[in-house]
Amino acid sequence: MRVLKLVRQPEGSNLCGQAVVATLLGLTLDDGIREFGTRGATRTRQIAAVLRGRGIECPDRLERFRGRLPARGILKVKFWRSWMGHWVLWFDGRLYDPATGTSEGLKLPRVARVTSFLPIRFPIDIS
């Protein structure tokens, strides 16, 4: 199993999408920001476009979470009483959260829940 190096987002920032993609691609946060061309919040289609540009296969739209996750994917997390979302990376049973760190298994704060995910697939296995 491959373990990735977590890229952290600055506290209070909305750079979770850039940090998650940087973690997946082995980039720095600044490189991740350059990939998106923005320091602002990211949308699913922006993430998909960056990933496809790097040869990673993924759909245009998020899939609804129904209790089962793909082996690898970018998860959309929502917090109780908030309309804001947060991106985290799920990779081979390990959670990479650019705000709080890494964990074995899906360990989120009690006030957070996965609502949807963007499954990702590499054309050649990188494990």
pLDDT attached to residue 64: 94
Q: What is the pLDDT of residues 95-120, one digit of tens each?
A: 999 999 888 877 666 667 888 999 99
Task: Please report which residue ranges of 1-127 form alpha helices under DSSP H.
Answer: 16-25, 29-36, 44-53
Mean pLDDT for 45-59 is 95
Q: What is the pLDDT of residues 54-77, one digit of tens each?
A: 999 999 999 999 988 899 999 999
Q: How far is CA 35 from CA 31, 47, 107, in A?
A: 6, 10, 28
Lookup: tokens for 23: 């973690």
pTM of the model: 0.88
The C-alpha torsion from 108 through 85 and 88 to 33, rounded to 10°, is: -150
Closest CA to 52 of 4, 96, 118: 118
